[in-house]
Structure 1
């Protein structure tokens, strides 16, 4: 195994510290940080309820740039209209901003938490002692009885 290069270490440090990634859109620099859960929730809701497809990219760009509950509540209605009607950003101009935001979703922790929480549900079917005693030897590899899986017929 090889040691990481200096550039790779800097990249990992930027990930840990939530260092913003700068994206240029028509000469203006936007900083994109890790997307917060509320921002992802609003993006999903906006995509599901969107009536006019031409406004979707500007609405998404506004949510990505604001990226915070109170900022979104106070400024989203104004900012997406600014992008759409005043600045008139096109789809091709906002692609890099949206692609960078896609990379800023912390999925690994989400998957781990989802897996752990699924195992903790109280609605899962509980096994009886007899089912557990029949199931446990198969897990360890020591079959005490022949099961349907190991039978010849």
Structure 2
């Protein structure tokens, strides 16, 4: 199967965004930068694409212009190990951006992220429907996910 690389469209901030994301995620790096040349459509020497990795996952940022912007129709999910990781990524990625409901946020570039733990699926799909409903209600009332509060709500009788 061919490798799938998400391509993120920016106006002009592709390199800045890639550098920011690489500073947030461990084991991350910029692999390659390409530039517009005399053929245009942007001035020669300005950044066209940035190939980068976030902890081994490859991405490409393209400075395609203002025609397209990010929407919540696509987001990047961060499956955090625990509340400390949720707190870290939430603080870093929401700074200068916008907090949303249920662990969703938009970063300062407008890209949507979901910041939660992998065990959220277990709580929301608990075979005990009362427990699952209580967990869901608790999550729906949050912006940043608070795992302890969701567990406490789920465990209330």
TM range (shorter): under 0.3
Pick the structure with more helix per residue: 1
Pick the structure with more strand per residue: 2
Larger RCO (alpha carbons 8 Å, 6+ apart): 1
Asked which structure has the greater CA Rg, the reply is: 1
